[in-house]
Structure 1
Amino acid sequence: MNNNKNISMFKWGINFIIPILCFLIPTTETFTPQIRSFFVITLFCIILIATENLPVFTISLMLPFMYLVFLKQDPSLVFKAWSLEVPWLILGGFILTIALKKSGLLKRLSYMIILLFGGTVRGILYGLLVIGIMTTLVVADATAKAVLMGTLVLGICDALEIKKGSRNATVLGLATFAAAMGPSFIFMVSTGFMTVSGILTAANYSVPTYLEYLLHMGAPQLLFCICTVVMIDILYKPEKLLRSKEFFKEELQKLGAFSSNEKKVLAISIGLVILLVSGSIHGILSGWVFMLVAIITMLPGINLVTPEDVKQVNFTFMMFVVGCLTIGVVSGPLGVGKFIADTVYPYITGSVNQLFAGVWSLGFLSNFILTPLAAYSTFTLPIAEMATQAGTNYLAVIYTFVSSLEQVIFPYEYAPVLLIYGYGLVSFKDFFKYHVIKVILNIAFISLIFIPFWNFIGLL
């Protein structure tokens, strides 16, 4: 008990000391009192999340409250995150998951996937990467993909009776991160690079075609994705399942023909994918598509989800996501991005190696404060200009920047990562451990694989 008390005191000490040290930094013309207060409040809440000193729901309420009171920000800005698509995508995703589970379709699909990949956790681990790559071709939005992959893996865990927090749950949970995130950058379909492409085009910079991008990024990014999955296999060594492949064959046969409710959910799910794939045609954002699907599951005549079922939705997690999004929303008008840029740029310029290292560091560090979209908007053009002035290919430097923004070590940094973490399959300790090692792996890949490869194909 004394040991636990000491640990608790140590965590609370960290929680207050770091923000206080930040508050003691003198303000300047660029590091304004408001920006300093923003960092103090944000650091305090981020450390609360990391140390788990307070319940998640409490932190989710505390963050916007502190921005309102201490930064004196307008409520329309502080609560703007609720008007974004992400919270509603989460709600729609949770409701669709309920429909999938309740109808039995999720169990059927899970059995089929388990059998397809050999009936072992290791087989599913590598199989999920294959599914992630295939899904990327039709679902470009990372957040939508995170919901789909997370729902699928949750169903697999239910089918295998894998308890949350177990080694196998950790393996499959981490595999979901690897399968949902990394493959998005193999093809020129990721929301991140498409945002960058739009910014460059608007500034009269040429951008790669789909095939050129595939040549530049396809092979090294695919190798990186494979290594992230191998890393999970080595670190956590999946445990052997108590049930054999034959058991799942028998269970699948017991399910018999598709029930009426399964057919309804299957039709709705196919419609969902079609709407997600055709987003460029109809212009409806993924979040609103998921909400539409959720509404359909509850309509008279469909009746897949009842008001009683909705009580299963994890509204605490939804609040947590909104709280995290609020960090990025509030940082923009305060000029936090510009302050970071002005502070970091003098240390980035120099040799080509210094440029690549500095740009990677800029992307990685900006994730702690800015949303990836805000980082793309803030830094893309200055990075392209610096690369041009340094006499190197700006596309290679931009690719490095995009790759760095995928590297996170806290769940709050990136909405799709936060979504998957919310399924509760992976503890914070294992999440942190895996992603820190993945960060190191990415640095090694950029230095030893990506840059030499770009030199080999003539990009550099």
Structure 2
Amino acid sequence: MTQILAATEKDGKEPPLQKKSKVEDLMKKWGIPLAAVVGLLLFFMPTPAGLTIEAQKAIAIFTASLILWITTPIPIYLTSIMAILLLPLTGAVKDQEIAFGTLGFDVIWLMVAAFILTSAMMKSNLGRRFALWMVTSFGQTPKRTLLVLIIINFVLAFFVPSTTARATLMVPICLILLEVYKAMPGKSNLGKVMMLQGVQADAIATSGVMTATSGNIIAVGFINEQAGGHIGYMDWLLASMPTAIITMVLTFFIGLKLFSFKGESNFQDAMGMLKDELKKLGSFSLNEKKALVIFVCTVILWATGDYQKDWFGFAISTEQTAVLAALFCLLPRIGVLTWKEANIKWELMIFAAGAYAVGNALDKSKGAEWIIKNVVSFLGLEHMNHVLVYVVVVFLSMYSHLIFTSKTVRVTILIPAFIALAKSLGMDPVPLALAAAMTMTYTITLPPHSKVNTIYFGTGYFSVLDQVKYAIVTCFIGASVISLSIFTWFKILGL
């Protein structure tokens, strides 16, 4: 980021500041009172039937925190600190480890490693070289650059079976590209749309490939065992990939409308400048070669994660691989940077710790499960027309990530529930469960909803509100496309 600032100061220009809208001003002004009122009402209201007092308190703290994270009247890490303190103080959790232990979660270590890898890529100039080559070869304009990044995400989904690993690979590339375009964090719409589309391309591409995340594989296991299906790799690919591509194409253009960057900078002469910058890098330096070896080995370990157990008798997890790569980046003589040169955003670590703390409290207390059961009952799914049931289930499954922050938890709770629902209504459970499973990767609305979100959010290019605005539209489009495919594409495939 210091390189971006230096480049800006050198040119004497900055991207135009974006004025806050009246809605954002009102949200900041009333965020604290709204959070306090809603939180207290939920906390002190009579405990509903089937809900424990601990779950009620967890829901109150979660809701109040959610309001503060969206309206941002105070820094998001302060909200997390308050939530971590309130959970044990109010009795929402009996075990303090649930609240205070989250800073030791594997995702926090993964984020630390991601920042170290990003710093190594920046210092060695390897990321800059790759980004300049990629843009000059395929992305002659910012829009084409955005499209190239999305295509890369979709290609990686076939070879790297980890959403987080792919994000850790893509974020450094995006940062270098934005440095070239002099896009300032928090000010640049190009930066916003690039990072947000990175979040969404990662999630949507994952929905198209069965092996792109363990959640998809678990869902297929439920469908084949409990619903009597015979869904395999190609069945999933043919059913889901077309919906993923259509959704991504539609949301790509919507993102360009939501975060227009037309007047932000002059890109007309950028290509010549970018080619000159690539020439200035000359031949590969020793640090670039070191960084390249570290990154190639990291990608190989990530890509072969599902096969290492059979090959070697043990497996190195995504988190272990990332920390190992960070270690090599920092080792004297072997690595490419020192600890002081690693740009680690500790305020983001605190924010993530608080987000996972309230999410865990909601899960452990069964508060999330209670909410889902009551939503299903309230909607009266058991009395609806079968066509409407399909649509409601898809939308309910799509937006369930607002409550459950884990794809695996959502899959294990919802897919068996939807299979049982279909059987009770005399419906074929396979297409219903498959359609619901295709939505499980759309964890894109808030930073704590997935590790990928927190990694991209840590760049500082978009706010919580930016992510919410774009994600609500994307999730609606995704659910609509999947719903339509049930009655059209699924029938063609014989599902």
Task: State if a TM-score over 0.5 links the two structures.
Answer: yes
More deviation, 196-205/266-275:
196-205
Q: Which residue of 2 aligns with 1:212?
A: 235
Give 1:276's aligned residue: 302
Structure 2: runs of 5+ lacking an equivalent = 1-21, 309-314
Q: Which of 29, 34, 38 does residue 58 from structure 2 map onto?
A: 38
Separation in structure 1 between the aligned mates of residue 27 and residue 360 of structure 2, nearest angstrom: 34
Residue type matched to 2:194 in 1? L
Q: 1:335 to 1:185 in 2, by over 3 A?
A: same
- Post-superposition CA distance 1:420-442 (Å, at most 9, x none): 12211223343222112212222
Which of the numbers 28, 35, 38 marks the counterpart of 1:18?
A: 38
Residue 15 of structure 2 corresponds to none
For residues 16 and 305 of structure 1, what CA distance do their matches in structure 2 show?
Answer: 45
1:239-278 alignment runs, 5 A limit? 239=262, 240-241=266-267, 243-278=269-304
User: Residue 24 of structure 1: CA displacement?
Assistant: 4.9
1:121-160 equivalence runs, <5 A? 121-160=142-181
1:72/1:254 CA distance change after superposition, 3 Å: closer
The worse-fitting range, judged by mean Cα deviation, of 255-264 and 76-85 is 76-85
Gaps of 5+ in 1: none
Name the stretch that deviates more: 132-141 or 186-195. 186-195
Give me the whole-angstrom Cα distance separating, in 1, the residues matched to 2:50 and 2:361. 17
CA contact (8 A) 1:118 1:245 kept: no
For the aligned residue pairs, the C-alpha RMSD in angstroms reads: 2.3
| Number of aligned residues | 456
2:167–2:452: 8 Å Cα contact kept in structure 1? yes
* Residue correspondence of structure 1 range 181-200 to structure 2 within 5 A: 181-191=203-213, 192-200=215-223
Output aligned runs, 1:298-317, within 5 Å: 298-310=330-342, 312-317=343-348
Q: CA deviation at 1:199?
A: 4.3
For the 8 Å contact 1:110–1:156, the answer to whether it is kept is yes
Aligned equivalent of 2:455, options 413, 419, 431: 419
Amino acid at match of 2:433: I
Q: Offset at 1:108?
A: 0.5
Which residue is 1:368 aligned to?
402
1:373-392 maps to which residues of 2 (within 5 A)? 373-392=408-427
Where in structure 2 are the equivalents of 1:328-339 lying within 5 Å? 328-339=359-370
Q: CA deviation at 1:122?
A: 0.7
| TM-superposed deviation, 1:267 | 0.5
- Range moving further from structure 2, 413-422 or 45-54: 413-422
Instruction: State the alpha-carbon separation in 2 of the partners of residues 36 and 254 from structure 1.
Output: 60
Normalised TM-score (structure 2): 0.86
Displacement of 1:206: 3.7
Q: Distance in 2 between matches of 1:118 and 1:208?
A: 37
- Aligned counterparts of 1:35 and 1:150: Cα–Cα separation in 2: 36
1:226 corresponds to 2:259: no
1:438 to 471, 474, 490: 474
| Distance in 1 separating the partners of 2:221 and 2:277 | 49
Deviates more, 1:449-458 or 1:376-385: 449-458
Structure 1 Cα separation of the partners of residues 31 and 298 of structure 2: 44
CA contact 2:132–2:274 (8 Å) conserved in 1 = yes
For residues 24-173 of structure 1, the aligned pairs below 5 Å read: 24-70=44-90, 71-164=92-185, 165-173=187-195
SS in 2 for 1:137: helix
| CA deviation map 1:102-129 (0-9, x unaligned) | 0111110110111122321011011111
Q: What is the rounded CA distance, in whole Å, between the counterparts of 2:230 and 2:36 in structure 1? A: 46
Between the aligned partners of 2:372 and 2:468, the Cα distance in structure 1 is 27
Report the alpha carbon displacement of residue 203 of structure 1 after superposing the two structures with TM: 4.9
Q: Which moved more, 1:91-100 or 1:244-253?
A: 244-253
Residues 321 and 137 (structure 1 numbering): CA distance in 2 closer, same or farther, change over 3 Å?
Answer: same
Give the partner amino acid of 1:309.
E
TM-score by length of 1: 0.92
Rounded Cα–Cα distance in structure 2 between residues aligned with 1:84 and 1:306: 24
